[in-house]
Amino acid sequence: MYQAQVCILGGGLVGGVMALSLAHRGISSIVVDVETPDNLLAQKLDGRTTAVNLASAQFFEEIDLWQPLSGQAACIDNIKVYEANQPWSIQFDHQELGSDPMGYIIENRFIRQGIFEKTLNHPLIKWCAPDKLLTKKITASGVDVYLESGEMATVSLIIGAEGRNSPTRDDRGIKKKQFGYGQKGLVFSLYHDKPHHNVAWEVFHPSGPLAFLPMLDSVDGGHRSGVVWTLPEAEADIWAQKDPSDIAKRLVDMFPHLGEFDLFTQVWCYPLVAQMVDRFIDDRYVIIGDAAHVCHPVAGQGVNVGWRDAKALTDVLVNHIRLGLDLGSQTVLSAYQRSRRVDTYAMFAMTDIMVRLFSNDSKILRPIRSMGLGVVNKISPLKKFFMKRAMGI
């Protein structure tokens, strides 16, 4: 039988960081994940990357996670945005706000490995993997958690961090609303002839945005970037089956700034949806990350919002423990829910508006887009507002 203050369901990019954040503040947890430790530690190259904004990097530094990741992080010093075949463009230069980069691009495999290695032998973190929640029993003083392996734990709070298809969220009757865009994202990584100079690019096409995210050069000096290519569903399915050389040729036509391309990973194809829930909490239960909110990846902020959840929940729990309150009480959980509603809904709304405004060829919206981006580019305080939003500060 395990004894801990919290049970975290899901040990991925958000759940693992949640465990580290709690442990850093003296709160013990058990982490339940369906993956085996070998899979969590695997360094197999898959080319998938995550944009870690400046605020998330600073949070990682606080919880002692940044040190193993910093050597694998490519800086985002500038972000350039433009609409294909239109005259306007906008550039966000980190030097307008200071010396720190706007964020970093890190391969997912290195983030997963860093989280697992930091949590594996931590005295306040117990891993139960591969395992999953079988049932639970809520008592007057906590929750008895029963795992499929036969193990049992008594905790004060369950945190659901299992992703957008969280089974425990659905079991608790938390209602979700999903919004489809009729789009899929093709995700892959490639080599290119010219250096990216730590610039992230976002090119808006009527079919959807095309993003190039700067990665570290390979060990032999090859210039690399991660790509997210958004297309209508049927078109995405066709391109996902094409030869990588055909994709490379098409991208050169669409984006000539980095020279010739050569894909070095497989192409993943994901349906792009947004999802929100009616509440984040239930009896001794709270959801974070994609279990609570999913936004379109157009702004590259999805997992950063989940990490803000982890930081905010840690702060709320610590503050209420100091007051002698039960960390699974409705008073505590309601305080967390209030603290996160504005940020999550604002990010959801911002990304939704961006996609609907730019993923079309409307003659009515085209001048509105040009005028709006021109205004942002010329008005320094407004431009800095959007830069800070992207950096999470």
Give the integer Cα–Cα distance in Å for 9 and 81.
38
Q: Which residue has the tokens 């299992």?
A: 162
How confident is residue 363, by pLDDT bands cut at 50, 70 and 90?
low
232 lies in a domain? no
Tokens of 223: 């210039």
Read off the pLDDT of residues 4-57 as tens digits, 9 standing for 90 and up.
Answer: 999 999 999 999 999 999 999 999 999 999 988 777 777 666 668 999 999 999
Domain with 334, as residue range(s), is: 2-177+273-391
Residue 366 confidence (pLDDT) above 70: no
pLDDT at 34: 93
Going by the DSSP 8-state scheme, the letter that residue 104 receives in this structure is E
Residue 226 lies in a domain: no
Residue 187 lies in a domain: no
Range of lowest pLDDT (5-14, 184-193, 360-369): 360-369
Rounded to the nearest 5 percent, the helix, strand and coil shares of the chain are: 40, 30, 30
State the angle between helix axes of 302-322 and 54-62 in degrees (0 to 180), rounded to the nearest 10.
40
C-alpha distances (whole Å) from 192 to each of 83, 197, 221, 253, 260 are 22, 12, 11, 14, 6
Nearest one of 347, 239, 246 to 293, comparing CA atoms: 347
What's the average model confidence in pLDDT over 86-99?
A: 84
Q: pLDDT tens across 128-139, in order?
A: 999 999 999 999
Q: Are strands 143-147 and 152-155 parallel, antiparallel or unpaired?
A: antiparallel
Q: Is the bond leading into 130 cis (omega within 30 degrees of zero)?
A: yes
pLDDT at residue 321 in the model: 93
Q: Of 162, 172, 176, which is closest to residue 281 (Cα–Cα)?
A: 172
Average pLDDT taken over every residue of the chain: 91
CATH number at residue 325: 3.50.50.60
pLDDT of residue 382: 78
Is 224 inside any structural domain?
no
In the predicted model, what is the mean pLDDT of residues 373-392? 78
Could you tell me if residue 343 is inside a domain? yes
Share of the chain above pLDDT 90, in %: 72
Q: Which residue in the block uniquely carries the two structure tokens 């193993």? A: 68
- Specify the pTM: 0.93
3-state secondary structure of 263: strand
pLDDT exceeds cutoff 70 at 364 = no
For residue 143, the model assigns a pLDDT of 96
Mind spelling out the 3-state secondary structure of 300-369?
A: CCHHHHHHHHHHHHHHHHHHHHHCCCCCCCHHHHHHHHHHHHHHHHHHHHHHHHHHHHHCCCCCCHHHHH
Tell me whether residue 134 is in a domain: yes
Domains identified in the chain, total number: 1
- Whether the predicted pLDDT of 240 surpasses 70: yes
In a domain, 39, yes or no: yes
Angle separating helix axes 54-62 and 15-24, nearest 10 degrees = 50
Would residue 253 count as lying in a domain? no
Residue 150 has pLDDT above 90, yes or no: yes
166 contacts: CB under 8 Å, gap ≥ 6: 9, 10, 160, 287, 290, 291
